[in-house]
A and B are shown apart, each in its own frame.
Chain A
Amino acid sequence: MSTETPGASTDAPIRVLLAKPTHDCHDRGVRLVARRFRDAGFEVIFTNFLLTEEIVNTAIEEDVDVIGVSVSAGGHMPIFEDLLSGLHSNGLDDVMILGGGVIPHDDERTLKAMGVAAIFGPGTSAEDARNLIVQKFGGTVEA
């Protein structure tokens, strides 16, 4: 069954870059999200990164619509700070930024004020994230 989303404008699949810091062993969640996004018809690029500029470079090369960064071992604030400024200086302000992992509520508030669209912490589902993306970019979701 597939659901037509109002405002769907293009048949090109939504392109999502999912990234995890190399040091962070907790990748069960983000890899599951990657599989669920592929099931939903998204084009998913999954990568580990050491430096935040690697995410920016991949985002440019792959022309992505969405970047999701999962951090479950702390150190998320500098990553998002560098990512947002890196994207901005490359003129990629339209890219939707999502966060996931173990991110305390007060950091979540700061990140949202900085321009992160949403944080998907423990207990949220891949489907919530998928729906948010579809809401913004339209398109068809295999359900």
Chain B
Amino acid sequence: MFDEPTLTSSQKQAAIRDEQYERMLNRFGNSAPPSAHAPQTHSGLPIKTAYFPHDVEGLDFEQIGAPGQYPFTRGNLAAQYQLMNWANQPVIGYGLPEDTRTRMDMLSARGMTGYFGQKFYNLVYDLVSHEGIDPDHSSARGRIGQCGMAVYSKADMARLFDGMDLTKMNVVHITYYQVIPALAQYIALAEEQGLTPDQLRGNSMNWYHQSAYVGMSAFPPASAQKLAVELINYCAQKMPRWNTTNLFGYGVEEAGGTAIQEIGLMLAYGIDLMRAVEASGLKADEALPRFGFQIAQANDFFEEICKIRALRRIWATAMYERFGAEDPRSMHVRIHTHTSGACLTAQQPLVNLIRTTLHAFGAALSGVQAMEVSAYDEALSIPTEESATLALRVQQVIQEESNITAVSDPLAGSYYVEALTDQIAAAALELVDRVEAEGGYVAAQQKGWIRREVEASADRWRDMVNSGERRVVGLNCYQDDEGEVAEPNIFKVDPNVEALAVERIEELRTSRDAARFDKAMGAFREVAEDFAKKECKDLGSCELMETAIEAARAEASTGEMMGVLKDALGWRAPHEY
């Protein structure tokens, strides 16, 4: 990328600088921190203390390219934020559907804005729904409306979206493995409004793959892969505007994984999933344009930025070279950033606002499409109205005041940023090769291999925090004196929520058309049992989705539908598979 005289000068200047640096280092002697001798990124990649043109001379400029050009290192599109800001996507959900709606309306009124100025709601379901049970189950007490909304049926969705035009908004349904029942209920609600599925915009998570690195009960990995492919097929046929699949890199980071593991594992999963999708009869360009990513933005400022640039490059390359993707949208990495919750501290909680601001700023510099900024009290409870508003304001201050939105990929060309982007991409691809050598993502998951890799990183992080090598303000340095800490205002879900949610599900069971319900559930069960015997190549008829939607029309609850799927496919803690 540079001519000979420049490279010669670069080497010469670097040699002078390095000598000066060594002299300074020697003067500090033992008082110099280890990072001054051998700096590393938080992932453990070795880096230099200064970068020069010759550090990037080996890079192929085509691998960097232009914003909007393959391999999209510098961004999916020519325009980054000049024409449209990233979407504000705070995660919302607690209590009854009406409580969640109150928070949605409040944040909307305070400027939460989606793509093209549209309404955008990022809604999380509660723990009861995640578990695939109903609120009247004996284990539901204490979990109803916690960490998400108590929405278990088409009727609850009607309460949530009361009076809203579903065609005028984008709804992200943050589910775990209840993704098919939740989508079926949403479609059934839309039909009641006279709509058809193709008019709906939004996201299903489809993130069964997270059971490789988080411990909630789950379907067996191979069956889960088929469920993911089923939903992708249904949407390819019936919901062209629906985003089917979210690659949950964030969960890797939260489980203790490094930046390299986060993107390497997501690419490895994407490859495995696309093999299954192809086996079911879909082409790359029929599925990939509706994939998206949830990616963490954690503490190592430059590594996290380069991680995103590297992910865009390696994903585009893999989808083009391995699966013959031609549509640019099939190669784009559309990112919803979730600023890292694992980096936040319960100690001195207001300090978290500073951390999340740095995270959000880095995400913005790397050109992501949407953002959730964690609230400062996230290590303590569900965000209060005040903390949720401040988290939104973090995004708005960067968007409106910093002028970083003027230029696409503004850090491109930095010797350090380009060298590190390349280094991270290579390390992530090496991890992909290791997963492939285990037989691919699902096979590696079944062996517990992925879990072990991520947990080794969690252990390493903990050792570094314990030893003080990794500094955490308020935790292992600059702690408050005992007794000085004011306990912040904590959000609590209204205790009446539980009784009301139970009352509602009981009422639903007695008031619905029993004959229609029995017939729909019978058909769903039969199809689910048949589905259990199928392989990916047998999918594509979408009977499971169709019968799930009919069950949702017949007022089936999430717990009832999940009960059918659990019976047919199996359901256990991931470490027991």
Q: How far is the CB of A100 from chain B (nearest CB, A)?
A: 12
Q: Does B44 contact A (CB under 8 A)?
A: no
Known A78-B142, A105-B487; judge A35-B459 contact (CB<8 A): yes
A79 in contact with B346 (CB, 8 Å): no
Give the distance in Å from the alpha carbon of A125 to the alpha carbon of B455 in the complex: 16
Q: How far is the CB of A10 from chain B (nearest CB, A)?
A: 29
Known A74-B493, A78-B142, A123-B475; judge A102-B381 contact (CB<8 A): yes
Bits for A93-113, please: 1 = Cβ < 8 Å to B, else 0: 000000000101110000000
Give the contacts of A22-58 with B (CB-CB under 8 A).
22-28, 31-32, 35, 46-48, 50-52
Give the distance in Å from the alpha carbon of A76 to the alpha carbon of B146 in the complex: 11
B147 in contact with A73 (CB, 8 Å): yes
Q: Of A22, A28, A35, A123, which one neighbours B342 at CB under 8 angstroms?
A: A28
B216 in contact with A23 (CB, 8 Å): yes
In the bound complex, residues from chain B placing their C-beta under 8 Å from that of A6 are: none
From B248-256, B300-308, B332-340, B421-429, the one touching the partner chain is B248-256
Q: Does A121 contact B (CB under 8 A)?
A: yes
Q: Does B138 contact A (CB under 8 A)?
A: yes
B139 in contact with A51 (CB, 8 Å): yes
Q: Of A28, A46, A74, A75, which one neighbours B254 at CB under 8 angstroms?
A: A28
Q: Does A114 contact B (CB under 8 A)?
A: no
Give the distance in Å from the alpha carbon of A112 to the alpha carbon of B275 in the complex: 52
In the bound complex, residues from chain A placing their C-beta under 8 Å from that of B217 are: 22-23, 48, 50
A24 in contact with B127 (CB, 8 Å): yes
Q: How far is the CB of B518 from chain A (nearest CB, A)?
A: 27
B127 in contact with A73 (CB, 8 Å): yes
Can you pick out 19 interface pairs between chain A and chain B where the beta carbons lie within 8 Å of each other? A20-B215, A21-B143, A22-B131, A22-B217, A22-B573, A27-B214, A28-B256, A28-B458, A31-B455, A31-B458, A48-B217, A73-B146, A75-B127, A78-B141, A104-B381, A106-B490, A122-B346, A125-B466, A126-B462
Give the distance in Å from the alpha carbon of A26 to the alpha carbon of B253 in the complex: 12
Number of chain B interface residues as a range: 35 or more
Residue of B nearest to A54 (CB): B139
Known A23-B127, A51-B138; judge A31-B143 contact (CB<8 A): no
A75 in contact with B143 (CB, 8 Å): yes
B214 in contact with A123 (CB, 8 Å): no
Q: Does B317 contact A (CB under 8 A)?
A: no
Residue of A nearest to B378 (CB): A102
A50 in contact with B345 (CB, 8 Å): no
Q: Lowest 6 A-B CB distances belong to which pairs?
A: A75-B142, A74-B146, A78-B142, A27-B215, A122-B346, A48-B573
B143 in contact with A74 (CB, 8 Å): yes
Give the distance in Å from the alpha carbon of A88 to the alpha carbon of B21 in the complex: 66
In the bound complex, residues from chain A placing their C-beta under 8 Å from that of B459 are: 32, 35
Which B residues have a C-beta under 8 Å from some C-beta of A?
Answer: 127-128, 130-131, 138-139, 141-143, 146-147, 176, 210, 214-217, 251, 254-256, 342, 345-347, 379-382, 455, 458-459, 462, 466, 475, 487, 490, 493, 573, 575
Q: How far is the CB of B134 from chain A (nearest CB, A)?
A: 13
Q: Of A52, A74, A104, A122, which one neighbours B127 at CB under 8 angstroms?
A: A74
In the bound complex, residues from chain A placing their C-beta under 8 Å from that of B254 are: 26, 28
Q: Does A127 contact B (CB under 8 A)?
A: yes
Residue of B nearest to A31 (CB): B455
In the bound complex, residues from chain A placing their C-beta under 8 Å from that of B128 are: 23
Known A27-B214, A31-B455; judge A50-B131 contact (CB<8 A): yes
Give the distance in Å from the alpha carbon of A22 to the alpha carbon of B455 in the complex: 19
**Sample of 18 further A-B pairs with CB below 8 A, known A25-B215, A48-B573, A122-B379:** A21-B143, A22-B573, A23-B127, A23-B131, A23-B217, A27-B214, A32-B256, A32-B462, A47-B573, A48-B575, A73-B146, A74-B127, A74-B382, A75-B143, A75-B146, A78-B141, A104-B380, A122-B346
Known A22-B131, A23-B131, A74-B147; judge A50-B215 contact (CB<8 A): no
Residue of A nearest to B251 (CB): A25
In the bound complex, residues from chain B placing their C-beta under 8 Å from that of A26 are: 214, 254
Q: How far is the CB of B463 from chain A (nearest CB, A)?
A: 10
